[in-house]
Amino acid sequence: MSQFRGSGSATDVYFTHADTGTVVGVNGMILRTSDGGANWFAQSSGVSNNLRAVSFTNANTGAVVGDHGTILRTVDGGATWITQSSGTMNNLLGVWFTDAYHGIAVGDGGIILRTTDGGATWINLVQGTMANTLSGASFPNANTGIAVGSNGEILRTANAGANWIQQASGTTNHLYGVSFTHPDTGTAVGSAGTILRTNDGGTTWFRQTTNALNDLFGVSFLNTNIGTAVGDSGIILQTSDGGAAWIKRSSGTINPLYGVFFTNTDIGIAVGRARTIVRTIDGGQTWTANLTSIELNYRAVCFSNGDTAVVAAEGIYGPSFGMRSIYILRTADGGTTWKSWRGVTPRIVNLRGIFFTDTKNGMAVGDYGTILRTTDGGVNWAWLPSGTTNDLYSVFFTDANAGTVTGQFGTILHTITGGVTSIEEKSPNQSGKVPGKYVFLQNYPNPFNPSTTFRYSLSTPAHVTIKVFNMIGQEVATLVDERKTAGQYETLWQPVGLSNGIYLYRLQADDFVDTKKLVILK
């Protein structure tokens, strides 16, 4: 028996139960506990590579990934670990299994591997280079999607993101935005005035002439013919014939415009740097400046209905020493007046993409893997775990549940649950499900310094405790210990006197228990 007394060599931890967990680390280290971390037993991994991530679907079935394409699999709780062929030498940094058969592994160079047979075979989801940053995405339906990015990268999926195929764009310019209104018909925009058009689902792309060399950052089409592109120096270009001709409009600003959205043929909003918001009510013929009171740079805009629009902004310093603020603005009168929501983070987070599926449900994405979700039309926002620290640039949903996020280093994230991971509570005798759900989100930010926030929701009243433990099972902090009514909650924690490293935190709501990991970095 060996007792684990440090976190310096550990890289990841996963618990399937309050008592049963696995730690992985450098030089092929795998440790197992069956008593909540009081004692740890060393398991033989059979490899000496650094192991980076671990995931279990139950107490017995799990997977570990690591450097040089290492994938290990167990079906007996780690008594034996079997090496699987990944088909890559890239370092693998994350792994997730949704059941015993279906899993995803990700790693350096933006590699994404998928298995549907428990890891017997792994398939690279992306055919082509994935080291490029993916800046924009558009889905005309639930299955068909296009992602664009640096070096002229264009990727297409026809099966809801299960596989992505590289398309020839004919350019090496950075493509920042894309808009599809039909599976065959779409437009991409990018640096140096680049506008590309396809009428065959991306099999071929042809360049359209604009007589403008400004970088174009955003594009929005209402249908196959009517579209608007915005970009550097306040440029606004419009077309009514599918891009055969683009007409330059006067925006009234020289600030870069990053995002544009039209709710109908008449009403649209474009947003940009230095608190710039410009609005049109005549289909883009004229634009009126609508500066806000907060000195922000705006990155993206989306209408949830004819009057309600939400704008994502870059982060700023404040409100106190060591903390930073992020803002989302909302209008309910078509842009005449704006109200703001503010979140607090330990570092500058720029929000870069936003999308609403209906008047209530929306997502915003940004730096360091940030994903925010609203269910009340943008009045309030809550953090969701993304599983990545890469910057995220765009988000697109085809319905309330199915969505795709793209970002730095070829990151592509896909959800079919609206981005929320929920755990259903069982009755004490396991005879059936208790109605409703408890949702316990990953703390954000993570890793963190100096503080982090825990978010959870209760469908029914419960006595709630949140406790933090070190890696040898010693309790180091109690954050919550009281009865709560049904609702959503946030708890801010700023640890004092704790060293750098990996810690476990456990939420218990009556008979429901969930354990996750956090990392303190100073």
Residue 445: CATH number of its domain: 2.60.40.1930
pLDDT of residue 171: 92
pLDDT digits (tens, 9 = 90+) for 156-172: 888 777 778 888 899 99
pLDDT of residue 321: 45
Residue 424 has pLDDT above 50, yes or no: no
Whole-number pLDDT of residue 315: 66
433/468 same-domain check:
yes
User: Between these two residues, 299 and 407, which has the higher pLDDT value?
Assistant: 407
264 shares a domain with 295: yes
Same domain (yes/no): 411, 384: yes
Percent of the chain topping pLDDT 70: 84
Q: Does a structural domain hold residue 420? A: no
339 inside domain: yes
Q: What confidence tier does 70 reach under pLDDT thresholds 50, 70, 90?
A: very high
pLDDT tens profile 293-329:
566 677 777 777 667 777 777 666 655 444 567 888 8
Domain end residue (candidates: 415, 450, 484): 415
When mean pLDDT is compared over 6-15, 146-155, 418-427, the highest value belongs to: 146-155
Decide if 355 is inside a domain: yes
- Asked whether residue 39 falls in the same domain as residue 72, the answer is yes
Dist. CA 291–CA 307, nearest whole Å: 18
Across residues 326-346, what is the average pLDDT? 78
Both 107 and 162 in one domain: the answer is no
pLDDT given for residue 436 in this prediction:
43
Q: Are residues 83 and 209 in the same domain?
A: no
Instruction: Residue 326: count other Cβ atoms within 10 Å of its Cβ.
Output: 25
Whether 271 and 406 map to the same domain: the answer is yes
- pLDDT for the residue numbered 6: 40
pLDDT digit string (tens) for 370-391?
Answer: 888 888 888 888 877 776 778 8
* Per-residue confidence (pLDDT) for residue 3, from 0 to 100: 40
Does 471 lie in the same domain as 394? no
- Establish if 310 belongs to a structural domain: yes
Q: How much is the mean pLDDT over the chain?
A: 79
Token pair of 459, please? 């469908």
Residues 317 and 386 in one domain: yes
Closest CA to 512 of 475, 476, 468, 460: 460
Q: How many residues does the chain have?
A: 522
* Same domain, yes or no: 431 and 393: no
66 SS3 class: strand
* 131 pLDDT above the threshold of 50: yes
**Residue 117 scores a pLDDT above 90:** no
Establish if 108 belongs to a structural domain: yes
**Residue 125 has what pLDDT?**
67
Per-residue confidence band for 431, with pLDDT thresholds at 50, 70 and 90: very low
Long-range (24+ apart) CB contacts under 8 A made by 2-6 are 2/31, 2/40, 2/41, 2/42, 3/39, 3/40, 3/472, 4/31, 4/40, 4/471, 4/472, 5/471, 5/472, 6/471, 6/501
CA pair distance 502, 37, nearest whole angstrom: 13
Q: What is the DSSP letter of 249?
A: E
Give the pLDDT confidence of 18-55 residue by residue, as tens digits: 678 787 878 888 888 887 666 778 899 888 888 888 88
Find the domain containing 375 and state its range: 134-415
pLDDT in tens, 448-466: 878 888 888 777 788 899 9
The number of domains in the chain is 3
The pLDDT, as a whole number, for residue 5 is 40
Average pLDDT over residues 192-216: 91
Whichever domain contains 43, its CATH number is 2.130.10.10
Does residue 440 carry a pLDDT above 70? Answer: yes
Q: Give the end of a domain, one of 74, 100, 124.
A: 124
Question: Is the residue at 421 inside a domain?
Answer: no
Q: Are residues 105 and 162 in the same domain?
A: no
110 and 156 fall within a common domain: no
Residue 378 φ/ψ region, left for φ over 0, alpha for ψ in the -120 to 50 degree band, beta for the rest: left
522 vs 235: which has the higher pLDDT: 235
pLDDT-based confidence at residue 399 (cuts at 50, 70, 90): confident
Q: Is the dihedral of CA 37, 38, 41, 47 positive or negative?
A: positive
Task: Kindly state whether residue 26 falls inside one of the protein's structural domains.
Answer: yes
Considering the domain boundaries, does residue 113 fall inside one? Answer: yes
Q: Among 373, 390, 415, which residue terminates a domain?
A: 415
Nearest-CA neighbor of 67 among 84, 82, 88, 38?
88
